[in-house]
Amino acid sequence: MATVYILYSDMLDKYYIGCTADALEQRLRKHLYDHKGFTARAKDWIIAYHELFENKSDALKREKEIKSWKSKNRIKELISSANRASR
């Protein structure tokens, strides 16, 4: 199993899109406490969205698709639609 996830930082008003085969909460902890990349710029990241996949290859394809949008509005729509569906 693998997960595509979107993190959000209110402080930066930015989204981060990633993919992991680790447990999602474990990966978030790494972003918050043990990271030197983009997410090291803030410590208020939350999981805004996630999708599960059978394998890492499919998850990586989806991650690339979302990143290719280069649209904050489209990412917000994806998160919004998932939130509406989970109600």
* Per-residue pLDDT at 82: 87
Number of domains into which the chain is organized: 1
CB atoms within 10 A of CB 65: 11
* Per-residue pLDDT at 87: 60
Contact 51, 4 (CB under 8 A): yes
Contact 55, 19 (CB under 8 A): no
Residues of the chain with pLDDT under 50: none
Q: Please report, for the domain that includes residue 50, its CATH number.
A: 3.40.1440.10
| Residue 39 belongs to domain spanning | 2-85
Tokens (6 digits) for 80: 């919004």
* Per-residue pLDDT at 36: 86
Whole-angstrom CA distances from 79 to 8, 16, 41, 50 are 11, 13, 22, 9
* Per-residue pLDDT at 75: 97
DSSP reduced 3-state for 3: strand
